[in-house]
Amino acid sequence: MTGPGSAAPGTVLAVRGLDVAFRVGRGRRARTVRAVTDADLDLRAGRLTALVGESGCGKSVLTEALTGLLPGTASIRGSALLTPPERSDPVELLTAPESVLRDRVRGRLVGLVPQSAATHFTPTRTVGAQLRETLARLGATATVADLLDRAALPRHVAALHPHELSGGQAQRAGLAAALAGDPPVLLADEPTAGLDRPLVDHVTTLLAGLAAEGRAVLLITHDLRAARAVADDVAVMYASRLVETGPADDVFAAPWHPYTAGLLGALPDAGFTPVPGHPPELSALPDGCAFAPRCPVSGDCSGDPVPVRRGGRSVSCHPPTAPALPAAARSGAGSR
């Protein structure tokens, strides 16, 4: 799924070595917030990738970097090459000027479903009017009815104002807007936050269906149950770093990283045992492995985590101290 070299087959968006940091405060109180650290991620056509992890680990910052929505205080390194299938030339998202992101990328090549979608609609205008305006701005041929159908919304929603929508309707209206330009990449940032379980299942099933139509879909969520139900691939993030990635079935069946195992152990059907302790602040990340203070198997984790890649899977850990990691991978630490 990931790796520093060539991208996996079918990759539409290849992220390599992405670092995002913010300088906050002034003078002696200034500090650096390391929001994303050395992230490698492939988003592939026809597959839904779930980016999971506890709140505040950097998941949303990663998507903001990909869409050029970070504030001016952010420093960014790495690459994010968008290669649209049969559409246009590749675009390097991290260095593209705002004019390119505005006119070529946002809405047309990359659709974004934001958190709390209702707040992104103008409160004094109907949903239908705003969807119609979005279609016109993008020069799209679809109709408002088409968008409502794609998002599994009844037609009468077009006549409603944002405050008249239920939570589930608001999230699906945000999805409808993101689909207006028929983008090959869809980034859904916590689209199920605040929804009850039936609505969570409904929204994630919709996203899985959109991936099945050929899109590369990134579902950002802290809901591991939802991710396990619909993801083709999974990326697990902890304290700014992707600690484990790979095919979802493989990762969920046999996690390599202790944090992934801890998240799965916190699910109700696995005993509901939470990961002990709390994640560190991104402005005060420790040296070495940030998970070591919470890790049940940590040993000498003072150095940077060692990336290990095998069979389409990747883990960033200290292999000699990770018993869940296959012996072949432990012996080949750092190999590709």
Q: What CATH number is associated with residue 207?
A: 3.40.50.300
Tens digit of each residue's pLDDT (9 = 90 or more) over 135-152: 999 999 999 999 999 999
Q: Which pLDDT does position 331 carry in this prediction?
A: 40
Domain that holds residue 238: 11-109+183-331
* Nearest-angstrom CA–CA distance, 87 and 183: 10
Residue 150 lies in a domain: no
Residue 321 lies in a domain: yes
Residue 284 lies in a domain: yes
Residue 267 lies in a domain: yes
Q: Which pLDDT does position 335 carry in this prediction?
A: 39
Residue 156 lies in a domain: no
SS3 per-residue string spanning the chain? CCCCCCCCCCEEEEEEEEEEEEEECCHHHCEEEEEEEEEEEEEECCEEEEEECCCCCCHHHHHHHHCCCCCCCEEEEEEEEECCCCCCCCEECCCCCHHHHHHHHECCCEEEECCCHHHHCCCCCCHHHHHHHHHHHHCCCCCHHHHHHHCCCCHHHHHCCHHHCCHHHHHHHHHHHHCCCCCCEEEEECCCCCCCHHHHHHHHHHHHHHHHCCCEEEEEECCHHHHHHHCCEEEEEECCEEEEEEEHHHHHHCCCCHHHHHHHHCCHHHCCCCCCCCCCCCCCCCCCCCCHHHCCCCCCCCCCCEEEEECCEEEEECHHHCCCCCHHHHHCCCCC
Residue 3 lies in a domain: no
Contacts of 103 by beta carbon, 8 Å cutoff, 6+ apart: none
Percent of the chain whose predicted confidence (pLDDT) is above 70: 92
Residue 133 lies in a domain: no
Tens digit of each residue's pLDDT (9 = 90 or more) over 253-277: 999 999 999 999 999 888 888 899 9
Overall domain count for the chain:
1
Q: Which pLDDT does position 334 carry in this prediction?
A: 40
Q: Which pLDDT does position 325 carry in this prediction?
A: 56
Q: Which pLDDT does position 1 carry in this prediction?
A: 58
- What confidence category does residue 214 fall into, taking pLDDT thresholds of 50, 70 and 90? very high
268: left (phi over 0), alpha (psi -120 to 50) or beta: alpha
Residue 160 lies in a domain: no
